[in-house]
């Protein structure tokens, strides 16, 4: 089964994991935050859809 991975910040679909990162939300620990390479470089803010925590890290 294949999951579509999209960047949490810009909604870009990630076709591979190169340069991207994913981690559990540091606040609620339930939602997985995904960031693409360009969002990491630009330090684009992300917002957790579950608890609305936002941050650059």
Q: Measured from the CB atom, is 22 or 50 closer to Zn ion?
A: 50
| Phi, psi dihedrals of residue 41, rounded to the nearest 5° | -65, -40
Q: Measured from the CB atom, is 1 or 29 closer to Zn ion?
A: 29
3-state secondary structure 2-50: CCCEECCCCCCEECCCCCCEEEECCCCCCCEEEECHHHHHHCCCEECCC
Report the site for Zn ion in 15-54 (rule: CB under 5 A): 25, 27-28, 31, 36, 39, 48, 50-51, 53
Interface residue list for Zn ion (CB under 5 A): 7, 9-10, 12, 25, 27-28, 31, 36, 39, 48, 50-51, 53
């Amino acid at each position: 089964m294949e999951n579509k991975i999209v960047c949490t910040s810009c909604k870009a679909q990630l076709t591979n994991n190169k340069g991207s990162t994913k981690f559990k939300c540091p606040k609620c620990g339930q939602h997985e935050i995904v960031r693409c390479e360009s969002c990491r470089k630009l330090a684009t803010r992300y917002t957790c859809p579950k608890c609305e925590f936002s941050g650059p890290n």
